Structure 1
Amino acid sequence: MDARERLEQQRDETRRRLAGLTGSYDAVVAASYDSNADDEHDPEGATIAFERSQVGALIRQAREGLLEVEAALARVDAGTYGVCERCGEPIGTERLEARPVARLCIGCASHRR
């Protein structure tokens, strides 16, 4: 499987996950309409607020991941996919297989921390 195919597969999986999470989020929000609005004193209110927060965080992560995949596909189209954005050297094949959206080679990524 080439880079474009891997990235397109990752994009499709992320879109499906995002759609499922959005449905879950909508269900949690709908459940909160049926509950007591006083989260502080309602034992279920805290649970609903926590679930809403958790699902919201997962949605944000999925959206960020989708943006990374789209950026990687743009690099494929531009002919710069697999080239480190910092040093200009090739990104190792193993790194790209493990993290297809990688922008930095392993050396530059490790210096970034």
Structure 2
Amino acid sequence: MSAPDPDDVRRHLHAEREAAQARLASLTGDFDAVVAASLDSNADDEHDPEGHTIAFERSQIGAIVAQVRRHLAELDAALGRVDAGTYGSCEACGLPIAPARLEALPAARRCILCAAR
């Protein structure tokens, strides 16, 4: 199994990072809109049988924002591993991570066997 080309990996990780940043910007806008709606509304949404509460929506968007931020941090760490020459090697056992796993999870730190433990 040959090592992935570092330039191809960098391009792929940067593309993933740009997509994640765009999603974060969109979610941040959604979050701001929900907060603004709650400030402009006198409605008692806590007792509205027709839909989710504003607090629920705010919490849900906040959780997704945190998830995207963690993904960005993982992508940054993967770029650091590319620069260090360790990208594609399992941090636990040192064996190569399968290309299919890296394709599905470009920021993967562990091979499938170590990840399953």
Is 1:16 aligned with 2:22? yes
Q: Unaligned 5+ residue runs, structure 1?
A: none
1:11: how far off? 0.2
Is 1:66 aligned with 2:68? no
Number of the residue aligned with 2:59: 53
Identity of aligned residues (%): 63
Residue-pair matches, total = 110
Alpha-carbon spacing, 1:80–1:30, altered in 2? closer, same or farther (3 Å): same
Question: SS at the partner of 1:84?
Answer: coil
Structure 1 CA distance for aligned equivalents of residues 52 and 18 of structure 2: 34
Q: Unaligned 5+ residue runs, structure 2?
A: 1-6
Alpha-carbon spacing, 1:74–1:31, altered in 2? closer, same or farther (3 Å): same
Alignment TM-score, normalising by the size of structure 1? 0.89
Residue identity opposite 2:68 in structure 1: A
Alpha-carbon spacing, 1:110–1:45, altered in 2? closer, same or farther (3 Å): closer
Is 1:103 aligned with 2:109? yes
- The Cα RMSD (Å) is 1.9
Is 1:30 aligned with 2:36? yes
Structure 2 CA distance for aligned equivalents of residues 103 and 4 of structure 1: 15
Alignment TM-score, normalising by the size of structure 2? 0.86
Structure 2 CA distance for aligned equivalents of residues 95 and 40 of structure 1: 44
Question: SS at the partner of 2:114?
Answer: helix
Structure 1 CA distance for aligned equivalents of residues 20 and 54 of structure 2: 25
